[in-house]
């Protein structure tokens, strides 16, 4: 009977993705382009936020959008109508974007001619949290109708994001959404996270968000 | 669903080491996965069984050690374990009651070793 022996491996499972993600960040730094990865559940307002952000910022910044979708081009078409560059990435059933997909998409964009790239990740709060896309910052959207308990169900997503956008604040009135409870839960998981509360529908709070984003883009463009 | 991508990465790493070590058969794969991950043990094993057919890793059993979520106190450096379902409770450092905490474990995605013949 042959003996069973142990081979020590000690490797990160997603090391290959991390290496590619770092390559992407190096490239972005060289090109002085800021890349933001937006993640959320389906229907929480990723496309609406991107459209609002484009409308506020396209006068001063050159913007490109990478749309991740399982198998449709609906969102990319909306973005193109705003007159900015958009790339559609169909994941073919995959529930997330990873660095290798982003590397392909970025080859289609003229980075030297872009200040800001926004990634619209595939809509779900689980899988995209595990895969570094090579973005400079990660943002997630949570909308009021989804409820204030999401940090309990999807803690990883709240720990990997630099920014939380609470969207659809126009639904707050008459709902049982507890904003204080949400903030307490989120800040326990991630004390450094920045929280913006806004409504893409009414426009309330959108300027505070774009002010912050403009600041981040400016830092990337000039350093 | 991301279990499929993750399992593919696990298999590739296992096969790379098996080949380098001239392994005849991989019996077990020991993983360390943080509790923050939503990876389902059962699905990872099913995907692994499917993907590893015809390789030296066919039939290998995945053993997952779950790593708890711990946070380091920025004030005194003490590391405290927290229950992610208790976000309602006050999270404080057990040593000094400090409230400025940084996550240090719980997001692991790691292959420890493989059991081979």
Total count of domains within chain B: 1
Residue A2 lies in a domain: no
* CB < 8 Å to A6, chain B: 113-116
Q: What is the pLDDT of residue A1?
A: 65
Residue B103 counted as domain residue: no
Is the residue at A10 inside a domain? no
- Mapped onto helix, strand or coil, the DSSP state of residue B2 is coil
- Asked if residue B9 is part of any domain, the answer here is yes
Q: What total of structural domains would you count in chain A?
A: 1
CA distance B116 to chain A (A): 5
Residue A33 within any structural domain of the chain: yes
Contact B109 A2 (CB under 8 A): no
Domain range for B112? 3-29+38-66+108-116
User: What are the beta bridge partners of residue B116?
Assistant: A5, B26
Rounded Cα distance, A65 and A171, in Å: 28
Answer whether residue B95 is part of any domain.
no
pLDDT at B86: 84
Pairing of strands B109-116, B26-34: antiparallel
Instruction: Flag whether B102 is in a domain.
Output: no
> For position B1, what pLDDT does the model report?
66
Q: Under an 8 A CB cutoff, do A188 and B87 touch?
A: yes
Is B53 domain-assigned? Answer: yes
Domain that holds residue A86: 15-222
pLDDT value, residue A8: 95
Chain A residues in contact with B64 (beta carbon < 8 A)? none
Q: State residue A138 phi and psi, 5-degree precision.
A: -110, 135
Q: How far is CA A140 from the centre of its chain?
A: 6
Q: Is the Cβ of A159 closer than 8 Å to some Cβ of chain B?
A: yes
Question: A177 in contact with B at a CB cutoff of 8 Å?
Answer: no
Q: Give the pLDDT confidence score for residue A70 in this predicted structure.
A: 73
| CATH code (residue A120) | 3.40.50.300
Least CB-CB distance to A9: which of B5, B91, B111? B111
- Alpha carbon of B91 to those of A148, A153, A169, B82, B85: distances in Å? 18, 18, 28, 8, 12
CATH number for the domain that contains residue B61: 3.30.2320.50
Quick check: is B76 in a domain?
no
For chain B, residues with pLDDT lower than 70 are 1
A1 touches chain B (CB under 8 A): no
List of chain B residues whose C-beta atoms are within 8 Å of the C-beta of residue A92: none
Is A8 a domain residue?
no
Tell me whether residue B94 is in a domain.
no
Q: For chain A, which ranges sit under pLDDT 70? A: 1
In a domain, A4, yes or no: no
Q: Do A9 and B112 touch (CB under 8 A)?
A: yes
For chain A, strand residue ranges (E) read 5-12, 34-40, 63-69, 85-90, 116-120, 137-143, 163-167, 194-197
Contact criterion met (CB < 8 Å) for B5 and A96: yes
B46: in domain = yes
Nearest to B113 among A9, A13, A160 (CB): A9
Cβ of A98 under 8 Å from any chain B Cβ? yes
């Amino acid at each position: 009977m042959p003996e069973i022996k142990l081979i020590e491996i000690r490797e990160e499972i997603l090391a290959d993705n991390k290496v590619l993600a770092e390559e992407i960040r190096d490239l972005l730094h060289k090109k002085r382009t800021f890349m933001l990865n937006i993640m959320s559940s389906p229907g929480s307002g990723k496309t609406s936020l991107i459209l609002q952000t484009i409308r506020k910022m396209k006068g001063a910044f050159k913007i490109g959008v990478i749309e991740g979708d399982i198998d449709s081009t609906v969102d990319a078409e909306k973005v193109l109508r705003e007159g900015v560059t958009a790339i559609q990435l169909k994941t073919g059933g995959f529930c997330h974007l990873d660095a290798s997909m982003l590397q392909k998409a970025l080859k289609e964009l003229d980075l030297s001619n872009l200040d800001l790239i926004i990634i619209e990740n595939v809509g779900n709060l689980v899988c995209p949290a595990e895969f570094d896309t090579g973005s400079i910052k990660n943002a997630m959207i949570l909308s009021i109708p989804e409820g204030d308990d999401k940090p309990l169900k999807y803690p990883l997503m709240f720990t990997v994001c630099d920014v939380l956008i609470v969207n659809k604040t126009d639904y707050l009135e008459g709902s049982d959404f507890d904003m204080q409870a949400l903030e307490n839960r989120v800040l326990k998981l991630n004390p450094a996270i920045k929280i913006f509360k806004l409504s893409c529908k009414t426009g309330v709070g959108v300027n505070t968000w774009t002010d912050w984003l403009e600041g981040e883009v400016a830092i990337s463009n000039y350093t | 669903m991301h279990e499929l991508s993750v399992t593919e990465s696990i298999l590739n790493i296992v096969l790379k080491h098996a080949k380098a070590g001239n392994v005849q058969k991989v019996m077990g794969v020991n993983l360390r996965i943080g509790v923050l991950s939503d990876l389902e043990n059962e699905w990872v094993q099913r995907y692994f069984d499917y993907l590893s057919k015809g390789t030296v890793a066919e039939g290998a059993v995945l053993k997952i050690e779950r790593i708890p979520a711990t946070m380091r106190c920025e004030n005194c450096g003490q590391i405290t374990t927290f229950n992610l379902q208790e976000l309602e409770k006050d999270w404080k450092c057990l040593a000094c009651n400090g409230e400025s905490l940084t996550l240090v474990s719980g997001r692991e995605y790691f292959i420890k070793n493989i059991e081979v013949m």
